[in-house]
Amino acid sequence: MRELNYAEIDNIAQKVKEKLRELPAPILQNYSRDFDIRYAHESTAIEGNTLTLREVAMLLDDKISIGGKNLREIYEVTNHDKAFSYVRRLISEGKSLDESTLKDIHEIIMENIMPGGAYRAHRVRITGASFAPPDQYRLREEMNFFFADLPQKRKLHPIVCAAWIHAEFVRIHPFADGNGRTARMIMNFELMRGYFLPIAIKKADREKYYAALDLYASEGNLEEFEELVYSCEYDALIDFLDFYREA
């Protein structure tokens, strides 16, 4: 893991913010769209979706149906793209995450898969996890605490707050399905709200990703997940500066 240096990453983020204003709109749109496609691929692949990056690009940009794939996998990718477009619009309008917005995001993510936007009414178990999410009777109280704690967490660095949002949401696991994709979406919501770039946690990092989330849920230790989010954000910022130099 990269050493956490928030002064350094803030300086890099400021440079990126300045460069973003200088790029012509078509070039910036191209860069953003490339990220959207890679993000949709990684965020669904980390949960087992079998579409390749090329197939995701064909589906989302070329509007070419992918033969032989399960309809659920198709919807996972197209819904992810719709949900992130919605998040980008909310950011452009200066909106913040609240319960209504969370449920809207989940509803988009689960469109044509199952009814979304409603908290689960039953217990769930997470395969391979060393913790059990709260049962359905404690769920609403836990989500009330989540949103009550959020203003205080926003006093922390945006990367720390975004990591907490994701990890705490996964610990609670409020929906019957789609919690991982929703967690990564609201994490990016908070990063972008704090003027950082959105990140895509890669399928290749799945083992340490799940281990870090498990550590938080079972022991309340956010350090490993914070390090992962920081590292992904650092790489995203450097990648943008490299792109800017070549544009």
Give the predicted TM-score (pTM) of the model. Answer: 0.96
Domain boundaries, the chain: 6-246
Query: In this structure, what token pair is assigned to residue 55?
Result: 């197939």
Q: What angle do CA 111, 228, 76 make, to 5 degrees?
A: 15
- Least Cα distance to 159 among 213, 183, 195 occurs for 195
CATH number belonging to the domain at 6-246, selected among 1.10.3720.10, 3.40.50.1000, 1.10.3290.10, 3.40.1000.10: 1.10.3290.10
Q: How far apart are CA 134 and CA 138, in angstroms?
A: 6
Q: How far apart are CA 126 and CA 211, in angstroms?
A: 13
Q: Within 13 Å of residue 24, how many CA atoms lie on the same side as its CB?
A: 3
Query: In this structure, what token pair is assigned to residue 117?
Result: 């936007």
List, for residues 169-187, the tens digit of each pLDDT value.
Answer: 999 999 999 999 999 999 9
List, for residues 29-76, the tens digit of each pLDDT value.
Answer: 999 999 999 999 999 999 999 999 999 999 999 999 888 899 999 999
